[in-house]
Structure 1
Amino acid sequence: MRKVISQFGQGPLQQKLTAGDLHFVSDAEVSKGGSGTGPSPHEYLGAALAACTSMTLKMYAGRKDMKLENAIVTADIERVDNVEEFSRDIQLMGDLTAEEKERLLEIADKCPIHKALAGEIQIKTQLVN
């Protein structure tokens, strides 16, 4: 995995992000003191879950010759009683049997980001200067 680097961007909270040669930004909503120029860190977290789920379903369906035309995954995060609650809605499009849909729903929980978020997480932080 390419390392992700964040540094101050323009405005009160914008962050300039790089991952290898890719450049993007993160920001807070205007109502939260930002300029709204990019997804918030929580939105990126939701995007990671949604993208990983959809990719995993596409790869699995391809290996099993399922007629999955698209998987539309919507992710949302809400903080309730100091707990991050993720909700994920999956819309499967294509000529799929009920059994294939059920199997794809099971496979969704096997995406690496789902596993990371549902498992134990350790964050090691060090000052480097």
Structure 2
Amino acid sequence: MTVELARIQGTPMAAELHIREHVLRVDAPVKEGGEDTGPEPHDLYDAALASCKALTVLWYARHKGWTIQDLKTTVERDASQERTGTYRLAVRMQIQADLTDAQWAELQRAAENCPIHKLMTKVTTEISTEIARGVP
């Protein structure tokens, strides 16, 4: 899968992010020279965790035949020590369901094992970057 980003001409920093058939607008906050017309990269990183945990819990419950009436996931970011190597994310999931204590514990384990959580905490990510001259 390829993710593509193209700058929106006439804006200081805004761009269109293309993921499969989906298009998202991304931008930088005003304090960083953007116009804040869309989420910035840290927002997308945090959102990846929130959505992965939610979808993992919903998938797990469905797989088990359990009914989830409602679900809300909130991620609070503390980036105050990011430059010294610590980026903190606190996730709170509010789930409306009629489950036993054992089932709640299973959902907790499922949420803690979502793929993005693992990528953020247990996997070594290797990134290569190439900058090419010219018009795309």
TM-score above 0.5, yes or no: yes
| 8 Å Cα contact 1:28/1:34 also seen in 2 | yes
Distance between the aligned counterparts of 1:57 and 1:65, measured in 2? 12
Aligned partner letter, 2:60: Y
Aligned to 2:94: 91
One-letter code of the match for 1:6? Answer: L
| Structure 1 counterpart SS, 2:130 | coil
Q: Which residue of 2 aligns with 1:121?
A: 125
Q: For the residues of structure 1 that align with 2:80 and 2:106, how far apart are their CA atoms?
A: 30
Within 2, Cα distance between the matches of 1:50 and 1:68? 17
| Other structure's SS at 1:80 match | coil
- TM-score where L is the length of structure 2: 0.83
Q: Does 2:74 match 1:74?
A: yes
Paired residues for 1:12-31 under 5 Å? 12-31=12-31
Q: Which runs of 4+ in 1 moved over 6 A?
A: none
Tell me if 1:3 matches 2:2: yes
User: Match for residue 105 of structure 2?
Assistant: 102
Alignment: residue pair count: 128
Please provide the CA RMSD for this pair. 1.7
TM-score (norm. length: structure 1): 0.88
Deviation at 1:128, TM superposition (A): 4.8
Q: Which has the higher strand share?
A: 1
Preserved CA contact (<8 Å) 1:6 1:15 = yes
CA distance in 1, matches of 2:80, 2:109: 26
State the identity %: 28
Unaligned 5+ runs, structure 2: none
